[in-house]
Amino acid sequence: MSKLLHSESDHLSIDTLWDSLVADVRSEYLSPAQKYPWIIGFSGGKDSTLVAHLAFEALLSIPPSQRTRKVHIVSNDTLVESPFVMAHLNGVTAKIEASAKELDLPLFVARTQPSLDKTFWTLLIGKGYPSPNQSMRWCTDRLKVMPTSKYIKDNVSEYGAAIVVLGVRRCESITRRRLIDGYKNHENSRLHEHSELRGAYIYRPIVDLSTDDVWEVLGSFDAPWGGSHAALFALYREAEGGECPVVLSSDEAPGCGTPNSRFGCWTCTVVEKDRSLQGFIDSGHHQYLPLIQFRDWLKSIRNDPARRQVLRRNGQLTFGVDGKHIPGPFTVKARMQILERLLETQCAFGETLISKDEIDLIHQIWANELKQQRGIVDGN
């Protein structure tokens, strides 16, 4: 993370960079070629915060009569996000929303969530999906891609198209660089079509910035919705973290649940160790210890054959190319044990980790599954 103190020459260079970024965003917003709404994918991390900051600043520099394009700040709540990340996200989006309303900006805050039948707990505890790992990352699509994609598609249907504004950068990783370099912008345009969302176009205003550039800008310019970005700096400092990015397709899924993505779901079993939660605990926030203990236990029981059914959910007996048996979902008994342990963790943590609606649906799924199993036995 860059220092916040700059020499005079540093100030000049960062001012020049900032003016260039705002001018670019302003120019794109005022582009006469299209007037479709902007949808800013906002995770609350450094990159998406900078993009939201730029959009807000650009709107302030435009006369009210020319602010004809709606800008949506859209964050995604998987319902199993790290509590400290959600607290920060809630605080920032509340400030953005209040300030935009006070300044009469066409900027709107929205939050997406997975549907009840596709939440992490409904699928893992209700249907017995094994906890996600690198080869079976079922969570990203259901918790992130589908809810946010639906929001984008709804806007595409209403306006004919939508511009998705993302804080992705080439230098984030080799995979990210290859993905970005593989895109082809329209001629004389900063936009490119999304590979999977028809009618959605991607705009990446900070694609060429380095990580140091991002921190320099955030440290040099106060948040236009009020205050500084000090809370964001503190979040990264205490959690030693990066953030799980906004994910809109399977191509972008590798960005979720990797060593470079430390802010994300507290239940994430894709990573070996939750460094963000551990960082907060090491900083003195011991209330998060029950969450880490539950996550580690959940990861440890994933491949326990005694807790997995022999058949897959489709009733098939499956073997891999190596001839090894591929077990099915968690047994109902194991799911009951996971729910019991989760409720104990919820009690120890002191905040809601699973909703009553999820628990009710889970019990309904169990009842239907056990009834079906009894019917098969009775039929035999």
Check the CA dihedral 355-360-364-370 and report its sign: positive
What's the CA gap between 252 and 255, in Å, rounded?
6
pLDDT digits (tens, 9 = 90+) for 279-325: 888 888 899 999 999 999 999 999 999 999 987 777 777 777 777 87
pTM of the entire predicted model: 0.85
Name residue 81's amino acid. Answer: E
- Whole-number pLDDT of residue 286: 93
Q: Does domain 8-255 have CATH number 3.40.50.150?
A: no
Check the CA dihedral 217-220-221-226 and report its sign: positive
pLDDT digits (tens, 9 = 90+) for 176-192: 556 655 565 555 568 98
- Whole-number pLDDT of residue 379: 57
- Whole-number pLDDT of residue 262: 55
Distances (CA, A) of 172 to 23, 27, 178, 259: 24, 26, 11, 12
For tokens 């660089």, name the residue.
177
- Whole-number pLDDT of residue 354: 98
- Whole-number pLDDT of residue 97: 98
- Whole-number pLDDT of residue 28: 95
Mean pLDDT by 10 residues, the chain (380 residues): 40 84 96 88 95 98 95 97 93 97 97 97 97 91 94 93 93 60 59 88 94 94 94 85 58 53 81 85 91 96 94 75 83 97 98 98 95 66
What's the CA gap between 23 and 67, in Å, rounded?
15
Q: Where are the domains of the chain?
A: 8-255, 275-379
CB-count burial class (<10 Å; 0-12, 13-18, 19+) for 76: buried
74 Cβ contact partners less than 8 Å away, ≥ 6 residues apart: 39, 40, 41, 42, 110, 111, 112, 148, 151
- Whole-number pLDDT of residue 261: 46
